[in-house]
A and B are shown apart, each in its own frame.
Chain A
């Protein structure tokens, strides 16, 4: 069996990465998981978090994603994310922007609570929670982001 698999990270606007990797650690919405070559085919939704790639030579690189889903096959992983940033590009400003977007979504869900149902509100609250957790994890301050009214 090959010891690497093809990893593609695509956003709607462009292809962000396309590299061979030895393993991929994904923030699945039901829990983190690692995909390695020979993984059973699966489609997994993601929560906001860091995707860690381990290259053929053992070097790691990280990407921040704001949810999306991943298609895992025995020899490839395709990650479809609405927003994705390499760790190096993820500055406080970018992070503030992402967090503000999630908070806005939460506000709009809460203001239309009767309309959209409790589930949507819970999901939006959880999304913000995940974003905050991701920020603290990589050392960015979640309190700097403010929601414009």
Chain B
């Protein structure tokens, strides 16, 4: 049986915790709104880009001279997994759900006898993958200095990726991130970015366009940009998901703390009452003995 003083301290500390989680929840809510706006603002560019790409790739995919970013290296032995997570924890299952999906992929690919390399973006994923896959790490992108995810961040990651691809260190690159569905639901997603996937339903409808310079030069120029756009979109989705996940995790924590305070307060009142009753009994018993 904890003493009254212990209980009082306990209640105080849980109250402090509740204040912190409440504050974190509100900060996450504010950041979520900003992240959602950023994702919204990036949409017109991404939509147009993918529309143009769809037409171009559908035309070029079957041809012999298609760029390597589209046609691939002709092998799929070496895979690069780009695992994008957050820099900070306390966001529910946000980081672990991405890591779990990446693990499944890595294990499956290795089971098929393929080579796997891992590039991590964000500290949390790196920490979680380090123990089992530490020897597969090829690079880490640190986002702790980045206050707001911008296109230059995506460019930096893409440039690094393309350099590795040009140097021939992998055949297929897949990015892992959380797709933002709603505040309470984020879906871990794997998306192949290199070689570019040709949308199945893309008909060569853009055939009526005039291309300047030629179609192939244009494609060669647009493919790297399209990769950058996809990575940028993934980073933005991830940022929104992180805040969403943190917000709901902190909401749960706040509610939990509230319940705990209620329980502890009840217990505190009971023990106080018990102490008073004991004292009364002692006094009455003493009086009767006289």
Contacts and interface: CB of A to CB of B under 8 A. Distances in A.
Contacts of B229: 12
Interface residues of A, number: 23
Dominant secondary structure at the B interface: helix
A15 B208 CA distance: 27
A43 B52 contact: yes
Contacts of A65: none
Given A78-B48, A116-B166, A69 B222 contact: yes
A13 B151 CA distance: 7
A117 B209 CA distance: 30
Contacts of A15: 41, 44
B135 interface: no
Interface in B193-248: 206, 208-213, 217-218, 221-222, 225, 228-229, 232
A52 B238 CA distance: 36
Contacts of B151: 11-13, 82
A4 interface: no
Interface of A: 8, 10-15, 28-30, 40-45, 69, 71, 78, 80, 82, 115-116
B42 interface: yes
Top 8 A-B pairs, shortest CB-CB distance: A42-B210, A12-B151, A14-B41, A10-B45, A44-B212, A10-B44, A41-B209, A12-B45
- Candidate in A11, A42, A44, A69 with the most chain B CB atoms within 10 angstroms: A69
Interface in B24-78: 38, 41-42, 44-46, 48-49, 52
A42 B44 contact: no
B138 interface: no
Contacts of B155: 82
Contact of B150 (A13, A30, A43): A13
13 contacts: A12-B45, A12-B151, A12-B232, A13-B42, A13-B151, A30-B212, A41-B208, A42-B209, A43-B52, A45-B217, A80-B45, A82-B225, A115-B167
